Amino acid sequence: MDFKELSYIITGACYEVSHELGVGFLEKVYEAALIYELKQKGLFPQQQQPITVFYKGEPLDVNYKADIIVNNEVILELKVLDEITNIQKAQLLNYMKATHIKYGMLINFGKAKVEIERFVI
């Protein structure tokens, strides 16, 4: 499945979660609901996957985790914020670089209508 098709399915799942839950829950609630929706759509989401960051070829002792990785192809970074800034975008891009996963989606459930931004590196 290509990124266009996969992101279309993920986007639909995000809208379903947003419609069902509305605004005001913590990120973990949206994460659990999105995992449910993605599985219902036949995808394979992995929740809270560890990310190893290397410096000069050596792994650093840091505790990074991707919110959701779908089909080992797309990293989903979930937020519940009033506004998305470059800090959240950089976080997702760094996760993508560290995992060598070239597709990512930044998803903000903090507004009345879910905001979704796609990234490709």
pLDDT tens track for 32-51? 999 999 999 999 999 999 99
Residue 68 lies in domain: 3-120
pTM: 0.94
Which residues are bridge partners to 51 per DSSP? 64
Residues 6+ apart with CB under 8 A from 119: 89, 92, 93, 96, 103, 104, 105, 106
Domain total in the chain: 1
CATH number at residue 51: 3.90.320.10
Per-residue pLDDT for 2 more than 90?
yes
pLDDT in tens, 53-102: 999 999 999 888 999 999 999 999 999 999 999 999 999 999 999 999 99
